[in-house]
Amino acid sequence: MGNEEAAIMNQAIWDIGDVADYSSKVQSGIDNLIDITDADIVVGGSPKDSVFTVDKVTLYKYRAITGAEDSQQEPILITYSLFGRYSMLDLQTDRSVVRNLLLKGHTVYIVDWGNPNKSDRWLSYDDYVGRYLSDCVDHICGAHNLEKISIFGVCEGGTFAACYAALNPDKVGSLILAVTPVDFHADQASPEPAKRGYLSAMMQKLGRQQLSDMIDAYGCLPGHLSGAVFREMTLMDSLKKYGVDLVDSVSGTKESALNFLRMEKWLLDRPHHPAEAAKQWLIDFYHENKLVQGTFEVNGEAILLQNLCMPVLNIFAKHDHIVPPAASKALRDQVPSDCHYSELELRAGHIGAFVSRNANAAISEAISNWIPALTRAPASTATSQAHSLDQRSA
Amino acid sequence: MGDLHAPFSGSWFEPARPSAPWDTTEHSFNTLMEHYERLVFSDDPDHDFPKLDTFMGFDLKLKAMTSAYMELMAAINQLNLLNVEAATAAFAEADLTSLELEPAKDRAESDWPQVIDTNIVEMQRSEAYLSAKSEYVTCLTRFQKQYRALLESFQEYNHMPTLSEYEDLSKTVHELKRDIWAMKKQQS
């Protein structure tokens, strides 16, 4: 056999082995999908109790975990975005920011915004910040006989939290924001296209009336539409995920297939965004950048980030394609000069910040350290607790 | 043999004869259809036809929705075209003949998707793509509005509440809820 023939034969053998491997994976994937039921794909499974409801909004308190550390820190209220479900923070036992905080002994509350439909089209930030979030904070303060609590806001939930804290600084012991845009145009100056946020570029291109008409035509910002935009932003990843990578994702052990399916279940469960609040998000924030200009109002009161005088921890993700780091980091220049402000940059993406094992552990640790003690610790203590973070000099 | 599909168009070679009643009926029908088509299939999208009666109102809404749908499809195709162009640009520039089998396979599994992804990300920030996206949003909105208008006609004629009526009602309820909340806060 000549060298050329041997090379062809080797290639053929390699190909046959490859096909056999692939076939085995397909078989394993099919076995997993037959074995797994929808009820097996549990997202957000940490035990919790409903402690307060208003309209479609529910405030949950997570049950303490037996054997958890003893903590004497303020309760923490988590607010998530209206574009997804809060269960992202409790995706599964080994990737749960909520569970990590519970293990450290924290008292954890979370707001579930429910399933807004077209009857909720008039809900705006006046309602989400001025009524719902305000009522949740009052309820927790009342239940624990406290004057203030810590708030941890994620993405749009971070914007809710920042607005609330700016209006009610006396009720917020510390503010933690994660992947939260503040200056919605900050990323557009980057010379690298990939670092310029697609959402920001698109919303600036679209006119105010154009955006308003689109939302009015639907009576909301439909979940499937926002989901499609998110998939469009990572087009190749989306195509690979449901194409060549799918067999890898569902094959292997049942637990590894469940990891994939839990994430997919969460991604596909996108609630509709109420119309008026969606207009504020897309037009007032993304198109007109009102938050950093101090011209955004809730119930007629201007949101001034200069009012954020409580300790602020700002967490952002280096590879975030939805909220580029520059849009979050802009908060540094907005808070008052005497504010205890820290940043934590995670080597992750927008969602990976909460579900990848390393980022998940880092974010939980940072939050746990940032929450002040119940008996108000001096600001300097909070600073020393967060020694591992990039502390801005006051 | 005359054109069987156009029996009335070849009368020039036939001897003149008095008009038959069916000729007149056919002629009248054709004329009527001609006027109808001129009205319904008018190419002027901005012309706001008078909504004369129930039929015309529904009919024109159906026509507007169809037209909006065609425009939406065109806008989607434009976006797809730009995506495909960006995705294939790297392949168009590559000299595939110089690539050996094994390295080419490795590249296909690692580098190429990355190259395509980078191209698409850059393209999505381009003026051409953003303009196409803007056109898509305009077309999507127009289609949704026309679709909704058509359905609301149907709902009205069939004694069903429309989304617009529902929105009026929900706004009132929303304002009442806010008033009650404010009053409770004042009292507490």
**First-residue to last-residue Cα distance in chain A:** 77
For A129-156, write each residue's pLDDT tens digit. 999 999 999 999 999 999 999 999 999 9
Average pLDDT (B170-186) is 95
Do A73 and A42 touch, CB atoms closer than 8 A?
no
Beta-bridged to residue A314, according to DSSP, are A177, A343
What pLDDT shows up at residue B100?
52
Nearest CA in chain A to B146: A217
Where do the structural domains in chain A lie, given as residue ranges? 3-38, 48-222+272-391
Confidence of residue B12 (pLDDT cuts 50, 70, 90): very low
Chain B contacts of A237, Cβ < 8 Å? 117
Q: B184 at the A interface (CB within 8 A)?
A: no
Taking alpha carbons only, the member of A22, A127, A347 closest to residue B178 is A127
What's the CA gap between B29 and B11, in Å, rounded? 18
B112 touches chain A (CB under 8 A): no
**What percent of chain A has a predicted confidence (pLDDT) above 70?**
91
Residue of B nearest to A276 (CA): B171
Nearest CA in chain A to B180: A131
Residue A296 · residue A302 · CB < 8 Å: yes
Query: Of A143, A138, A142, which is closest to residue A151 (Cα–Cα)?
Result: A138
Across the interface, whether the CB atoms of A219 and B131 are under 8 A apart is answered: no
pLDDT greater than 80 at residue B179? yes
pLDDT exceeds cutoff 50 at B15 = yes
Per residue in A42-60, pLDDT (tens digit) is 999 999 999 999 999 999 9
Is B140's Cβ below 8 Å from some Cβ in A?
Answer: yes
The residue of chain B nearest to residue A201, with distances taken between CA atoms, is B125
Residue A359 · residue A100 · CB < 8 Å = no
Residue A6: partners with Cβ closer than 8 Å, 6 or more residues away: none
Inspect the interface and report whether the beta carbons of B116 and A123 lie closer than 8 Å. no
* Crossing angle of helices B111-124 and B54-93, rounded to 10°: 130
Whether the CB of B110 is below 8 Å from some CB of chain A: the reply is: no
Chain B residue with minimal CA distance to A123? B174
Q: How far is the alpha carbon of A341 from chain B, nearest alpha carbon, in Å? A: 32
Q: Is the pLDDT of residue A2 over 80?
A: no
Structure tokens at B60: 């024109």
Q: What is the pLDDT of residue A136?
A: 98
Interface probe for A, chosen from B174, B180, B184 (most Cβ of A below 10 Å), is B174
Confidence of residue A379 (pLDDT cuts 50, 70, 90): very low
What is the number of other CB atoms lying within 10 angstroms of the CB of residue A279?
A: 21
Model pLDDT for residues A91-114, shown as the tens digit of each residue: 999 999 999 999 999 999 999 999
Whether the per-residue pLDDT at B18 is higher than 60: the answer is no
> A169-178, A226-235, A269-278, A380-389 — which is least confidently predicted?
A380-389
pLDDT of residue B133 exceeding 70 = yes
**Chain B residues with beta carbon closer than 8 angstroms to that of A235:** 83, 117, 120
Largest CA distance in chain B: 99
The CATH class of A48-222+272-391 is alpha beta
Alpha-carbon distance of A319 to A349, in angstroms, equals: 5
ipTM over 0.90: no
Q: What is the mean pLDDT of chain A?
A: 89
| 3-state SS record for chain A | CCHHHHHHHHHHHHHHHHHHHHHHHHHHHHHHHHHCCHHHCCCCCCCEEEEEEECCEEEEEECCCCCCCCCCECCEEEECCCCCCHHHHEEECCEEHHHHHHHCCCCEEEEECCCCCHHHCCCCHHHHHHHHHHHHHHHHHHHHCCCCEEEEEECHHHHHHHHHHHHCHHHEEEEEEECCCCCCCHHHHCCCHHHCCHHHHHHHHCCHHHHHHHHHHHCEECHHHHHHHHHHHCHHHHHHHCCCCHHHHHCCCHHHHHHHHHHHHHHHCCCCEEHHHHHHHHHHHHHCCHHHHCCCEECCEECCHHHCCCCEEEEEECCCCCCCHHHHHHHHHCCCCCCCEEEEEECCCCCHHHHCHHHHHHHHHHHHHHCCECCCCCHHHHHHHCCCCEECCC
Query: What's the rounded Cα separation, in Å, for the pair A199 and A320?
Result: 12
Cβ of A217 within 8 Å of Cβ of B145? The answer is yes
Judged by a CB distance cut-off of 8 A, whether residue A194 touches chain B is yes
Name the residue among A48, A178, A41 with its Cα closest to residue A112: A48
Residues of A in contact with B144 (CB under 8 A): 214, 217-218
Q: A187 with A327: CB under 8 angstroms?
A: yes
Residue A187 structure tokens: 């990323």
| CA–CA gap between residue A156 and residue A286 (Å, rounded) | 12
Which region among A75-84, A105-114, A193-202, B139-148 has the lowest average model confidence (pLDDT)? A193-202
The C-alpha angle B157, B161, B162, rounded to 5 degrees, equals 85
For chain A, say whether B80 makes contact (Cβ under 8 Å). Answer: no
Q: How far is CA B105 from CA A239, B93, B97, B185, in A?
A: 19, 18, 13, 68
pLDDT in tens, A241-280: 888 889 999 998 999 999 999 999 999 999 999 999 999 9
Q: What is the pLDDT of residues A306-322, one digit of tens each?
A: 999 999 999 999 999 99
Nearest-CA distance from A384 to chain B in Å? 39
- By CA distance, what is A199's nearest residue in B? B125
State the catalytic residue, choosing from A155, A163, A220, A339. A155
Q: Name which residue leads in pLDDT, A3 or A63.
A: A63
Distance from A118 to chain B by nearest Cα, in Å? 8
Q: Mark residue A348 as left, alpha or beta (left: phi above 0; alpha: psi -120 to 50; beta: remaining).
A: beta
pLDDT the model gives residue A237: 85
A388 pLDDT above the threshold of 50: no
How far, rounded to the nearest angstrom, does the alpha carbon of residue A306 sit from its chain's CA centroid? 24
Which residues in chain B touch residue A119, judged by CB atoms under 8 angstroms apart? 166, 170, 173
Q: State the pLDDT confidence band at B16, using cuts at 50, 70 and 90.
A: low
> Which residues of B are less than 8 Å from A121 in CB distance?
167, 170
Residues B78-91 pLDDT 10s: 999 999 998 888 77
Residue A220 is among the residues annotated as catalytic for this protein? no
Cβ(A104)–Cβ(A370) below 8 Å:
no
Amino acid at B7: P
Q: Which residues lie below 8 Å from residue B39, measured CB to CB, with a gap of 6+?
A: B49
Choose the closest CB to B116 out of A123, A213, A236. Answer: A236
Angle between helices B127-157 and B111-124 (to 10 degrees): 70
* A120 interaction partners in chain B (CB closer than 8 Å): 170
Distance CA A370, CA B5 (A): 84
- Is residue A68 within 8 A of residue A102, CB to CB? The reply is yes
Sign of CA dihedral A66, A71, A74, A80: negative
Do residue A118 and residue B163 have CB atoms under 8 angstroms apart?
yes
Does residue B89 sit at the A interface (CB-CB below 8 Å)?
no
Per-residue pLDDT at A322: 93
Contacts of B179 in chain A (CB under 8 A): none
Residue A381 has pLDDT above 50, yes or no: no
Q: Is B109 helix (H, G, I), strand (E, B) or coil?
A: helix
* Percentage of the residues of chain B whose pLDDT score is greater than 70: 68
The mean of the pLDDT values for chain B is: 79
Q: Is the pLDDT of residue A289 over 90?
A: yes
Three-point CA angle A219, A220, A225, nearest 5°: 120
Q: For chains A and B, what is the number of CB pairs under 8 angstroms? A: 73
